[in-house]
A = this chain, B = another copy of it.
């Protein structure tokens, strides 16, 4: 069971980005010092955001099939690099023998640290489904962090366009839409931005937004990777025992 399980494909590029982050966060100088990871890249899971908004089919059966697959293989923890799917976190966690690391909990827990003690007003960028679900707002309220959710005037349309472009493989269009979303936030007084959809960090990197924005960008995918790698290193899964 000394392996990380990743329920991925939502979307495929976000999963690749997440795997890359796991590698970069693992202290290793050769293959054998890395962490074993089983990735179920299942892109056919119905769109999570549409389902939450009541405009598309329910993905829960497909999500649970993925959870079952990873448990059947024998993984010791599961990470899901898709924020919107965490609308069904309780059902997936109840089904899984392996613990599930919650992407939004990991991300919000990192915020205080990311801001170096500066007072935060956090803009939550996510799919409309994830925002309607409300798990980010709940996690932020629980930590007493001031937040805002964009509306039409403050950039939600650009967030939607950005996510759609990255899922469609057009990283340059994604980057441009991400820039517009940041610009639209300027008037809100936001000091930090949660990239609460795993497509957004890909667009941010394509836009080199991490270098020039005045707002602190908090990357949900990176924070999930950090929590996952910490869990796995604590268990010693980087030590080559599974072969024996």
Q: Which residues of A contact B (CB under 8 A)?
A: 9-13, 15-16, 19-20, 23-24, 28-47, 61-62, 65, 69, 72-73, 164, 167-169, 240-243
Contacts and interface: CB of A to CB of B under 8 A. Distances in A.
B13 A23 contact: yes
Contacts of A42: 36, 242
A167 to B, nearest CB: 5
Nearest to A22: B12
Nearest to A35: B43
A91 B243 CA distance: 18
A30 B10 CA distance: 10
A86 to B, nearest CB: 16
A84 to B, nearest CB: 11
A188 to B, nearest CB: 30
B34 A37 contact: no
B168 A242 contact: no
Given A37-B41, A39-B39, A45-B243, A23 B32 contact: no
How many copies of the polypeptide does the oligomer hold? 2
A6 B133 CA distance: 34
Contact of A31 (B65, B167, B243): B167
A37 to B, nearest CB: 4
- Top 7 nearest A-B pairs (CB, nearest first) are A34-B43, A39-B39, A44-B240, A37-B41, A11-B31, A29-B168, A31-B43
Given A44-B240, A169-B29, A34 B16 contact: no
Nearest to A36: B42
B32 A36 contact: no
A16 B19 contact: yes
Contact of A47 (B19, B31, B37, B40): B31
Contacts of A169: 23-24, 28-29
Given A24-B169, A44-B242, A34 B19 contact: no
B29 A36 contact: no
Contact of A11 (B19, B24, B34): B34
A64 to B, nearest CB: 11
